[in-house]
């Protein structure tokens, strides 16, 4: 797996991302966030080098926005050695 794909589905994934369902958080490093029409939300806390599924089984995600307080919470509580869902 290479940059921009580490942590994203590799096969049999037909994800649709709408323009308003992709955003950046302005952090350092920049965090990237996107939601899919099939109800998943993915996040990268290292400018897209690695991705994590942070929510699933949602209705279609039509819009994603990064709120400063929530982004800080995700970054501070996330152990860097474990997948997001294990905190």
Q: What stretches of the chain show up as alpha helix (H) in DSSP? A: 68-77
pTM: 0.74
Looking at residue 78, what is its pLDDT?
Answer: 61
pLDDT of 87 reads 36
For the chain, 87 residues long, give each residue's pLDDT as a single digit of tens: 455 668 888 788 788 888 899 999 887 888 899 999 999 999 988 888 889 898 999 999 999 988 766 666 666 666 554 444 443
């Amino acid at each position: 797996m290479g940059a921009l794909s580490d942590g994203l589905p590799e096969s049999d994934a037909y994800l649709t991302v709408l323009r308003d369902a992709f955003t950046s958080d302005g952090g350092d490093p920049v965090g990237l966030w996107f939601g899919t029409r099939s109800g998943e939300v993915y996040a990268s806390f290292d400018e897209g080098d690695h991705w994590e599924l942070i929510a699933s089984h949602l209705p279609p995600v039509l819009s994603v926005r990064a709120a400063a307080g929530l982004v800080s919470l995700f970054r501070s509580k996330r152990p860097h050695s474990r997948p997001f869902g294990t905190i």
